[in-house]
């Protein structure tokens, strides 16, 4: 027990689960497990067939999900991160093929098709799936208006053009003030 207290936080994350702190709720049964370090080989073996889901990987490694996340952040585990990405891409390929199958069959496979579309809309945005949202600054009931201040000297314009711009801006502001006054009176 004294040796367990001497381990650093990083070392504790590399080993199998610790006993929960008093008062915490744990979903795992409270059994004593041997502390086995999580190696790249064990991780890659546990990764197969999990579709990259961190919780499933942790369950197979008999460790916490946070441990899996911390392991994947290690700089020397780049090859493991690539394997996880490949596993995640596999599930996207499966969803995409399900979607194409449903389109080809034209059967009543609404649930399978909806699930595939849902997954692709959230996980495969880079592949062009998902709802595209565009924000415009014009139109609608409540258009978005912005104001920006740019020093006219920063534009590097000829002196005559600067004068014309300033005159046009002064005229525009005078018209706006005039409309505001006439709008209040009526």
pLDDT at 16: 46
User: 186 to each of 99, 172, 182, how far by Cα in Å?
Assistant: 60, 21, 6
State yes or no: pLDDT of 1 exceeds 60. Answer: no
pLDDT of residue 85: 92
Q: Match 């525009």 to its residue by tokens.
A: 172
How far apart CA 131 and CA 112 sit, in angstroms, is 19
- CB neighbourhood size of 95 (10 A): 21
Q: What is the pLDDT of residues 146-169, one digit of tens each?
A: 677 777 777 778 888 888 888 888
Where in the sequence is the domain holding 112, given as residue range(s)? 81-129
Statement to judge: residues 59 and 124 lie in one domain:
no
One domain, residues 13 and 62: yes
pLDDT of residue 138: 64
For 89-114, how does the pLDDT look when each residue is reduced to its tens digit (9 = 90+)?
888 888 778 777 776 766 666 777 77
Report pLDDT for 161: 86
pLDDT given for residue 86 in this prediction: 92
- 61 and 90 within one domain: no
Do the domain assignments include residue 91?
yes
pLDDT mean over 72-100: 88
Query: Are 11 and 44 found together in one domain?
Result: yes
Domain count, the chain: 2
Q: 58 and 92, same structural domain?
A: no
Is 92 a domain residue?
yes
At 50, phi and psi to the nearest 5? -95, -10
Q: Do 77 and 89 form a contact (C-beta atoms < 8 A)?
A: no
Residues 3 and 67 in one domain: yes
Q: Is residue 145 part of a domain?
A: no
Residues 119 and 100 grouped into a single domain:
yes
Decide if 114 is inside a domain. Answer: yes
What is the pTM assigned to this prediction? Answer: 0.45
Question: How high is the pLDDT of residue 176?
Answer: 87
pLDDT of residue 31: 42
Distance between CA atoms of residues 97 and 121, nearest Å: 14
Task: Judge whether 102 lies within some domain.
Answer: yes
> Per mean pLDDT, which range of 20-34, 68-82, 148-162, 166-180 is the poorest?
20-34
Question: Over the chain, what is the mean pLDDT?
Answer: 75
């Amino acid at each position: 027990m004294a040796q367990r207290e001497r381990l650093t936080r990083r070392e504790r994350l590399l080993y199998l689960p610790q006993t929960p702190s008093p008062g915490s709720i744990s979903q795992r049964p409270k059994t004593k497990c041997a502390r086995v370090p999580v190696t790249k080989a064990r991780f890659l073996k546990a990764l197969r067939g999990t579709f990259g889901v961190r919780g499933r990987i942790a369950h197979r490694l008999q460790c916490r999900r946070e441990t899996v996340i911390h392991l994947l952040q290690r700089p020397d585990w780049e090859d493991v991160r690539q394997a996880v990405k490949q596993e995640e891409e596999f599930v996207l390929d499966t969803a995409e093929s399900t979607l194409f199958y449903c389109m080809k069959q034209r059967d009543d496979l609404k649930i399978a098709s909806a699930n595939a579309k849902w997954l692709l809309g959230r996980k495969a945005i880079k592949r062009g799936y998902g709802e595209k949202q565009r924000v415009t600054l014009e139109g609608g009931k409540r258009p978005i208006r912005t104001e920006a201040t740019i020093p006219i000297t920063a534009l590097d314009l000829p002196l005559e053009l600067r004068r014309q711009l300033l005159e046009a801006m002064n005229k525009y502001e005078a018209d706006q003030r005039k409309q505001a006054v006439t709008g209040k009176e009526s």
